[in-house]
Every structure is written in structure tokens, then in C-alpha cells.
């Protein structure tokens, strides 16, 4: 058995919105829904081959598949995992416009996390037609009912100056969230106004990190910066930081028709790893020509990265991001340059605190806990972090 795998499931490539940065261009949008055969085969193979797994339900807009689809998926997980359903977890990533209390309650009862793509009202035209008032209502509902949820805020050329305000709004509402820089794939590549300036993004990230770190009243673990704090503390990329923890052979994406790709971001046809309905094991996907191409290109890029001062905390970055920038075999693109600058700033700040041991009351509880754990019992703390 493999140790762990993350499986991005795309129930449909259909959507009720036309977000300007969508991975899938309009010509790729298809309202057909993943069949029970694809669901059953995927879950059964994953359950048989891996100790544990996390299923991320993406799209398209996954909620257009309907509530019954997810009830079927949950029933199949119980079928294949039996009493060991704790071996698998689920997150649904939705634009939030179709989310209703009844479905949210199903998710809570079935232990499905809910991720909402939302910029706290500051998308600046990124999501035409999105009902911000409804999304705010659902966020408040889930907070009141103690659901497992978070938000994902896409940062682009039109809202990069709003990063601090986005943080303030989510922090005030106690809504955990992550910043995601726009990737010039699919629709985003056709909208030049979405392009992020590297220096603007670096400046915005560092300013917000410093603000969050020194806010004793911070209510949320601001992502991805908290992940980077933990990377510094444990001296190894956090497994949840897929872009920097060498995701190859630990992630797959299954499309509605069963086609398998290495990533949920739009991948070209030559990276197709086969079809789940034709496989006897997940391992077959990693023996495919499609996977060989991304593996060879990734190795080539990483060889060029090994002299970099942050390589051990980066592992060459995301191959699909690199593909969208300078080509999969090359480094030095937006994702490389910005991560290096942001990570080195965070690393410098955390190392300064560890070295100087200042009064920690001026820092938020997430940073305090990480620092205290490292100072009091570094060996035990490192082992606990690795388990988490």
C-alpha cells in the first residue's frame, strides 16, 4: 500500500458562472456529470492501494452535479472503506452560489470540508454574476453551526492592492482563508488585465504577513503564510503545501469521463495518464507516457534549481505553474520568484524570533504556538509536525 494520495475529482466541467480566470476555457465546459462507474472505480482503487486519501471535489462547479451525486460518493466511500472511513477525507471546492443550508448540513454530518472561492467582496470583476450577499450569508451560517469550511481568495492584477483589506474582512468574520495568485492558464491567459506584477504581489504578501504575524488578536491561520511558518519551524515543506512538497506520485486528478491527469489545473492532452475505467491500479497511471513527460520535465527543472538557497524548502515548485510561465523544464517564472522572496522574508522573521526570544505577547497565537513548541522541545515538536 502507498502511504497517502490526494485525489482531485471533477464531477463535472459545467459551471453556473463564467469566472475570468477559470482553468477551463468555454470550449471545454461540459455539463455532463461523472457516472457512478467512474466514482466507484476510483474510490475502490484508491482504497485498495493507499493507507489514506483525501478527495477534493472540484470542477467546473461541483455543486451543479447535485446533492444526490455527493450522497452517492459518500455511500461508495463507506462501501470501500467500511469501518475505516477515517482513512479518507473530503473537501468540496465551490463558488458558493449554489450552496444551501441543507447541503451544508449533509457535509457536516458526512465530515466533508467546504471550500468557497471568494474574495470577501473584492474580486474586482473576476467572478461576474457571483452572489456575494448569498455567500456571506452561508459563511455566517456555517460559522454559527460550527462547520468545517474555509475560503480561497484569488489575487490578480485588479485586486492585488486589496490584499490587506481581504485579510481584515475575513479575520473580522473569523473565516479562515488562503491567498491564491492567479495562474495564466485557460481563461486567465485570455485576460491580460488579470496578470500580476511580481513586485506588487511580493510587496502585498510581505505587508500582510507582517501585519498578521504581529496581530495578537488574529483569529485565523492565514494561508499560505502559516504553512511557510511551519516549513521554517520543521525545516521541511508541509505536505499540504502541494506546490513545494514534491507532489508527483502523490496527486492525481480524475475528470468526469474518467481521464486521469497529474493535476487539477488544466493539463494538456499529452499529460493524460490514462482512463480510470481501464486501470487495475492507480500505479498504472504513474507508469504512463503522460506521467513520464511531466516527470522528465520536472527532473530537468529541479536539476537547474539545486544550487538555489531555498531548494530544500521548495523542491523546484509546481510543474504546472512552471509550464504556464517559462515552460515546465525552466525555473525563474512568477511562482519561483515570488515564493523565494516571500519565503525568505518569513524565514528571516521566524529565525530572528527563535534567536532573540522576544516577548511573544506581540505575536498572534499561531506564530506563538509554533515558536514555543520549537523552543521547548524541538525534537518532539518536529515529529508531531511531521505526523500532522
Cα distance between residue 337 and residue 334, in whole Å: 5
Q: Does residue 375 carry a pLDDT above 80? A: no
235-254: pLDDT as tens digits: 999 878 899 988 899 999 99
Residue of 283, 279, 287, 264 whose CA lies nearest to 40: 279
> What count of residues does the chain have?
388
By 3-state DSSP, what share of the chain in percent is helix, strand and coil, each rounded to 5? 50, 15, 35
Other Cβ atoms closer than 10 A to 246: 16
Three cell numbers written together for 341: 522572496
**Beta pairing, strands 50-57 & 2-9:** parallel
Q: Does residue 388 carry a pLDDT above 60? A: no
86-126: pLDDT as tens digits: 899 999 999 999 999 999 999 999 999 999 999 999 999 99
Cα distance between residue 119 and residue 161, in whole Å: 13
Q: Residues 189-203: what's their mean pLDDT?
A: 97
The whole-number pLDDT of residue 377 equals 60
Q: Does residue 386 carry a pLDDT above 90? A: no
Give strand pairing partners of 114: 92, 149
Cα distance between residue 384 and residue 372, in whole Å: 14
Write the DSSP string, 147-176: --EEEEEEE-TTTGGGHHHHHHHHHHTT--
Which phi and psi (to 5°) does residue 50 adopt?
-125, 145
Spatial neighbors of 230 by CB under 8 A, at least 6 apart, are 238, 370, 385
333-361: pLDDT as tens digits: 999 999 999 999 999 999 999 999 999 99
Write the DSSP string, 16-54: SS--TT-SS-GGG----B--HHHHHHHHHHHHHHEEEEE
Widest distance between CA atoms in the chain = 59
CA distances from 88 to 5, 57, 85, 123, 148 (A): 10, 13, 6, 33, 15
- Please report which confidence band the pLDDT of residue 368 belongs to, taking 50, 70 and 90 as the band edges: very high
Query: Are the C-beta atoms of residues 370 and 352 closer than 8 Å to each other?
Result: no
The whole-number pLDDT of residue 246 equals 83
Cα distance between residue 73 and residue 260, in whole Å: 18
Write the DSSP string, 286-340: GGSHHHHHHHHHHHHHHHHHTTSTTGGGTTT--HHHHHHHT-TT---SHHHHHHH
pTM listed for this prediction: 0.94
Amino acid at each position: 500500500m502507498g502511504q497517502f494520495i490526494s485525489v482531485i475529482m471533477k464531477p463535472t466541467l459545467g459551471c453556473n458562472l463564467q469566472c475570468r480566470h477559470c482553468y477551463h476555457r468555454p470550449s471545454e465546459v461540459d455539463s455532463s456529470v461523472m457516472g457512478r462507474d467512474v466514482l466507484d472505480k476510483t474510490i475502490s482503487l484508491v482504497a485498495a492501494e493507499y493507507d489514506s486519501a483525501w478527495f477534493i471535489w472540484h470542477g467546473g462547479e461541483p455543486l451543479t452535479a447535485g446533492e444526490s451525486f455527493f450522497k452517492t460518493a459518500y455511500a461508495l466511500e463507506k462501501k470501500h472503506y467500511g469501518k475505516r472511513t477515517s482513512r479518507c477525507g473530503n473537501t468540496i471546492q465551490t463558488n458558493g452560489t449554489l450552496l444551501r443550508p441543507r447541503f451544508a448540513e449533509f457535509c457536516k454530518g458526512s465530515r466533508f470540508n467546504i471550500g468557497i472561492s471568494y474574495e470577501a467582496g473584492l474580486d474586482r470583476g473576476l467572478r461576474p454574476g457571483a452572489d456575494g450577499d448569498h455567500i456571506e450569508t452561508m459563511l455566517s451560517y456555517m460559522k454559527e453551526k460550527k462547520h468545517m469550511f474555509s475560503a480561497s481568495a484569488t489575487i490578480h492584477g485588479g485586486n492585488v492592492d486589496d490584499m490587506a483589506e481581504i485579510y481584515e474582512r475575513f479575520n473580522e468574520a473569523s473565516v479562515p482563508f488562503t491567498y491564491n495568485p492567479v495562474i495564466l492558464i485557460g481563461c486567465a491567459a485570455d485576460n491580460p488585465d488579470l496578470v500580476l506584477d511580481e513586485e506588487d504581489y511580493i510587496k502585498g504578501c510581505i505587508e500582510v504577513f507582517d501585519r498578521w504575524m504581529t496581530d495578537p488578536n488574529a483569529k485565523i491561520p492565514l494561508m499560505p503564510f502559516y504553512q511557510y511558518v511551519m516549513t521554517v519551524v520543521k525545516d521541511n515543506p508541509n505536505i499540504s503545501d502541494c506546490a513545494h512538497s514534491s507532489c508527483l506520485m502523490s496527486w492525481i486528478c480524475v475528470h468526469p469521463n474518467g481521464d486521469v491527469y497529474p493535476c487539477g489545473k488544466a493539463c494538456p492532452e499529452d499529460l493524460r495518464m490514462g482512463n480510470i475505467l481501464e486501470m487495475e491500479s492507480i500505479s498504472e497511471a504513474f507508469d504512463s507516457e503522460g506521467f513520464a513527460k511531466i516527470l522528465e520535465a520536472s527532473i530537468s527543472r529541479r536539476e537547474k534549481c539545486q544550487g538555489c538557497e531555498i531548494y530544500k524548502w521548495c523542491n523546484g515548485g509546481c510543474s504546472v505553474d512552471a509550464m504556464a510561465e517559462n515552460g515546465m523544464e525552466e525555473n525563474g517564472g512568477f511562482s519561483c520568484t515570488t515564493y523565494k522572496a516571500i519565503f525568505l522574508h518569513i524565514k528571516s522573521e521566524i529565525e530572528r524570533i527563535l534567536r532573540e526570544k522576544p516577548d511573544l505577547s506581540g505575536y498572534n497565537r499561531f506564530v506563538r504556538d509554533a515558536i514555543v513548541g520549537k523552543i521547548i522541545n524541538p525534537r518532539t515538536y518536529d515529529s508531531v509536525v511531521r505526523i500532522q
